Structure 1
Amino acid sequence: MEPTADQTPVTGDGFPGSGRRVLVTGAAGGLGRALARAFAANGDRVALHYASRRAEAEETAAALPGGGHTVLGADLTDAARAGSLVEAAAEALGGIDVLVNNAAARTAAHPPVGTPAADWVAAWERHVAVNLLAPAHLSHAAAQRMIAQGGGGRIVNVGSRGAFRGEPDHPAYGATKAGLHALGQSLAVALGPHGIAVASVAPGFIDTDRVAHRLSGAEGEELRSQSPFGRVAVPEDVAAAVLWLASPQAQWSSGTILDVNGASYLRT
């Protein structure tokens, strides 16, 4: 029997162990799909958000273990839709215990030298809207819901190693991921008194369908050589880290930025 909102098993600190209500943004495929699978395999119920790839999101949801999952569409460049998405997820799941801010934009290359002004502005506006403002609005809405429910919650942001090493061809991506990390740390301090832990992961290159073409030839060799393990990440590598950060046991890691890049970039 699936746990209802009143039957959700909880740990000693009042935060659910499994049977949680989880919203994953950008869950149609790639890392988002792996995240949805990881939480569902943990016994959680998942709301899978998509922006435009509805069929893929529904396919992902249909293959998840367990039941009670739902698929929700929203354009996260519209600030008003962020709050609506959280409310829709909470309504479908009976509440919300975990938010994973995974949806992200990474437009065409836009180096500062050689990029026309109009393209430069468009790239920055797109990245700021999806990578920074949307997680901020989603986190605000989810926090209000978690506080009203009582018992705490978890917010996990998917950032990037590019926030630290620099992204010369994609500066808006690197900058907004750095902002996302900073947002997570601010929220960790602000929401801790309410039992809500907030953390981020900073992955390196992840082998997904959308970027698989880059792993052939010389570029693929260079990407794999960045890690001493001689490979790039698979989505499950990152999903496992997110699942742990969302667990009751990870409360004391609130505010952390966890590198998940196979030692391909080391911060000091």
Structure 2
Amino acid sequence: MSPSSNGSEPDSRAVLVTGGTRGIGAVIAARFAADGARVLVCGRQRPAALPGGIGFHAADVREPDQAAELVAEAVRRFGRLDVVVNNAGGSPVVPADSASPRLVTSIVRLNLLAPFFVAQAANAVMREQPGGGHIVNIGSVAALRPAPGTAAYAAAKAGLEALTRALAVEWAPRVRVNGVIVGLVRTAQNAEHYGDEGALRAVDGTIPLGRMATPDDVADACLLLTSPLASYLNGAQITVDGGGELPAFYLATRGSDAGAGADQPA
């Protein structure tokens, strides 16, 4: 039985996933759809293909009017809106001393303001419908442990954590707002950031659980937070990072044998 289902009944909730056409967002959308939910995703451009049962609406959620229209479209299609996953986000790696004002503004708009705009529109619907609703904001460990080249992104994600807690206080009990703080995730784009498979294995070895997360790990956290199993979680931030990073002194003193990568659980 899925944690989002009641008894043996499939999950028939209406779910909106921003940035759900690729990467982690696409896996989140597919996970809800596989559980029986009716799912709408958005992006600035229509993808070449989407899994069966998942709808698409073109929207730039950085624009308040388009964010509101996206939520309205979900309601038109489904008659209600039960779950919103604010997944759209990201940033190039840019040194803080050379980041242009335009780039910094764009990063903050996408990673902080866009979730705010979507959440506002969603709350207006959810608070008036039977059963209320759930909003999940996808954050990043960059808010806690910024890496070089991520200043604007880290600041925006730190703001998103504060926003999650603030909205949870304001909108309860009708609407629950929680967050998933995502650590290192293995995706098809990893090689662009970390290097070849050997480099990826080395990164795995810096994580207590011995591996980077998969997109499915993030999707499962979203499903959990919006399920009856998490009915008393509000303003919570679930960190999906395998335990964080092993301390530098531990790695330095143990060399290539450090890390748990060689003893990963099945």
Q: Which TM-score bucket, shorter chain as reference?
A: 0.7 to 0.9
> Partners of 1:215 and 1:75 in 2: how far apart?
31
Question: Which residue of the partner structure matches residue 51 of structure 2?
Answer: 61
**2:105 equivalent to 1:112:** no
Aligned AA for 2:94?
A: H
> Partners of 1:19 and 1:90 in 2: how far apart?
14
Question: Which residue of the partner structure matches residue 204 of structure 1?
Answer: 183
**2:20 equivalent to 1:31:** no
CA apart distance, 1:158: 0.5
Q: Which runs of 5+ in 2 are unaligned?
A: 247-266
- How many residues align structurally? 240
Secondary structure at the aligned position of 1:262 is classed as: coil
> Partners of 2:212 and 2:201 in 1: how far apart?
10
CA apart distance, 1:93: 1.7
Per-residue CA shift, 1:3-29, capped at 9, x if unaligned? xxxxxx997xxxx98210000011111
Secondary structure at the aligned position of 2:140 is classed as: coil
CA apart distance, 1:127: 1.1
Change (3 A) 1:197 1:182: same
> Partners of 1:23 and 1:158 in 2: how far apart?
13
Matches of residues 1-268 of structure 1 in structure 2 within 5 Å? Answer: 18-52=11-45, 54-56=46-48, 59-62=49-52, 67=53, 69-107=54-92, 109-113=93-97, 115=98, 119-194=99-174, 196-213=175-192, 214-216=194-196, 219-265=199-245
CA apart distance, 1:79: 2.0
> Partners of 1:149 and 1:253 in 2: how far apart?
20
Aligned AA for 1:243?
A: L
Alignment RMSD, CA only?
Answer: 2.1
> Partners of 1:123 and 1:223 in 2: how far apart?
28
Identity of aligned residues (%): 37
Instruction: Check the 8 A contact 2:87/2:137 in 1, yes or no.
Output: yes
> Partners of 2:69 and 2:245 in 1: how far apart?
37
Aligned AA for 1:210?
A: Q
Please say which structure displays the higher CA radius of gyration.
Answer: 2
